[in-house]
A and B are shown apart, each in its own frame.
Chain A
């Protein structure tokens, strides 16, 4: 008679420490953005020329910029636009991309060919160039930037959704709806799309960091958020001039904020997409 115990093998992959760290950091940032009016020591646009380019001190924990605006306050308020704008952008891309992707997968034939060629053409353009082109036509500003980038992200979402929808619509439960006599539009809207939800959301989470970065870039280039906004990308651009006066904080503070949030989102995003993808 033999008795033995095999070492227990973890059935579920453990949540890595990095994901936990990144996740808590993002939660903290979101909280800080929500509570900005309570947490910020100054109004973000309050100009105090007497305190121009001050270093860290008790009054200004992260120093000030050239106009003497408190950087901590600006970065806290800036978190709001910097987090909300990518969500709106992705919402635009999701609505358009999912519609196109599902349409292409469901109708097949020339519709699929048309949508696929369209996305290919858009892929061929560098995203930023395409966006700048739209902004050149419709003018600068945050709303135009969000819409333009939303359009620029549509092809990748459409392509991804199309492949998901192709495999999902081949499942017999979709056939069963057709056999029941249900119309194609209704099957897609009410039953196919909700079943793609997990996969698409996972993909969007991964895209979030990139979207935030793209928006910051537009603002940095002067196409996106306009002064006196506290958008992080804009803040980096404004702080750049101070670097030659050996004041690093005005560019460093928003730059670090962008980098930290983007990296955290990528860490969490990849983990979430993996989980959502596996379950879905």
Chain B
């Protein structure tokens, strides 16, 4: 061992910078994915989304029956709830994702950076020739894979059940609204990662993100003219895309631009926070 350690120039650390940092980034993403697998997150988060996706059409379809059997209604009451349009059910599914789905995603990645920083595991990694950007980037990438995968699984399940019980919706519309909604989730995940890097407490990071996304959605809903371009409007655009057409394509384009700028700056700012001090101890 002693001779091996002294005379081995073969393990050179002077790799070409670009390709080596790409390799490291890939290795780190693989590690994050392995962590998602080992913690069963890659299994249970999509399952929750699928459950949410299935429940929406099923409960819509059986709502009249359920009400009838609730038994509190006097005899002879005619329950006549018109079955909604198939596309509307999908839009409602997106609303479910917007509350419970986002809650689950934010809670899952609230500690992704701060957890490792608090424990000290991050220092052990960042002391190696690894850039904070690829460290944050790898977590961001893995979380996005989880978010997009769960969203796609849940939404497609909802689409399948809606087709079975209520009516068909063209796949192209579903895919379109899925992509738009995915951008909103991407934005929310990026902000969670940012807060997770800035704040010591995971709960504070989750809280800030949730409040922030609720505020953005509210602003977009309350002032569609003035603030209809903020990322919070994307969930609305996604519903529009599946039910009919996107009415204001100018604001829609702007919202997409804002999301891309927002997520890039969130990741860069998170990396900057880590560069200043890799650990909070």
Chain B associates with chain A: no
Interfacial residues, chain B to chain A (CB-CB below 8 A): none
